[in-house]
Amino acid sequence: MRYPRLISTTVAATAVLLLAGLLAGCGGGSSSSSAGNGLASKSATAIFEASKTAASGAHSVHIVGSIVSGGKPIGLDLELLSGQGGKGKISQEGFSINLVQTGGSVYINGSDAFYRHVAGPTAAQLLQGKWLKAPSDSGELASLASLTDFGKLITSALAHKGTLTKGASATVEGQPAIALNDSSNGTLYVASTGTPYPLEIAKHGKESGKVLFNGWDKTVTLKAPAGAIDISKLQNGH
């Protein structure tokens, strides 16, 4: 069976759209301490830099939310482990992809609708329930693997485009926070107690959406799926 290269185009497009949504705002998290951290009295720039430092120093994070990018809703639910990879699920327009990246390889398990879309009904029957495998740094699934790169995703998520101004105090999932408004039409909420982790991206306007960053430094276990099929063998007709 020759597996069409359309899978590469599809997953790459999903990755690009997702990252484009993240780049318009900033990320989020949670803190176990109830003590004020002094951010409320600082400038918008100082708050933003504190949130970047806190996020970059974390070992893991859980990212969940939904973004509208290019008129298309994209859902994500990812657990990332710094320097080791990540796992989770991405969904778009009725398709969904389970994703694991670990040990230099990326694995995907698409829904039946996804496999039908990229490979046709016959191949979808053969691939139903199965995991596909490819190198994480090159080839067909490299774009998706980049979504589980903790450092790259945090850097992208915390790259604001416009001018930042300090907003009002708020609460994000029970966590006290301070808002930073980006003139490019997004808001970043940063924890105002305990460690100043980012808590939420809220993007406004036509390309609206919300992404929560929580579970900072919680335990994340990554395990390569058993019996994964090497995508290169499918493409070569093996």
Q: Pick the residue with more confidence: 12 or 53?
A: 53
Q: Residue 2 pLDDT more than 50?
A: no
Give domain status of residue 195, yes or no. Answer: yes
Domain span at residue 154 reads 6-222
Q: Does residue 16 surpass a pLDDT of 50?
A: no
> 15 pLDDT exceeds 70?
no
Map tokens 């879309």 to a residue.
Answer: 117
Q: Of all residues in the chain, what percent carry a pLDDT higher than 90?
A: 38
Quick one: average pLDDT of 84-94? 89
Structural domains in the chain (count): 1
Within a domain: 228 = no
| 77 in any annotated domain | yes
DSSP assignment string, 31-48: -S--SB-SGGGS-HHHHH
Decide if pLDDT at 59 tops 90: yes
51 is a domain residue: yes
Q: Pick the range with the lowest mean pLDDT from 48-52, 227-231, 232-236.
A: 232-236
Q: Is residue 238 part of a domain?
A: no
pTM of this structure: 0.81
Q: What is the pLDDT of residue 93?
A: 78
> Is 117 a member of any domain?
yes
User: Is residue 227 in some structural domain?
Assistant: no
Residue 84 maps to a domain: yes
Distance CA 103, CA 84 (A): 7
* Distance, CA of 172 to CA of 15 (rounded, Å): 27
| C-alpha Rg value of the chain to the nearest Å | 19
- Give the CATH number for residue 33: 2.50.20.20
The confidence score (pLDDT) of residue 49 equals 92
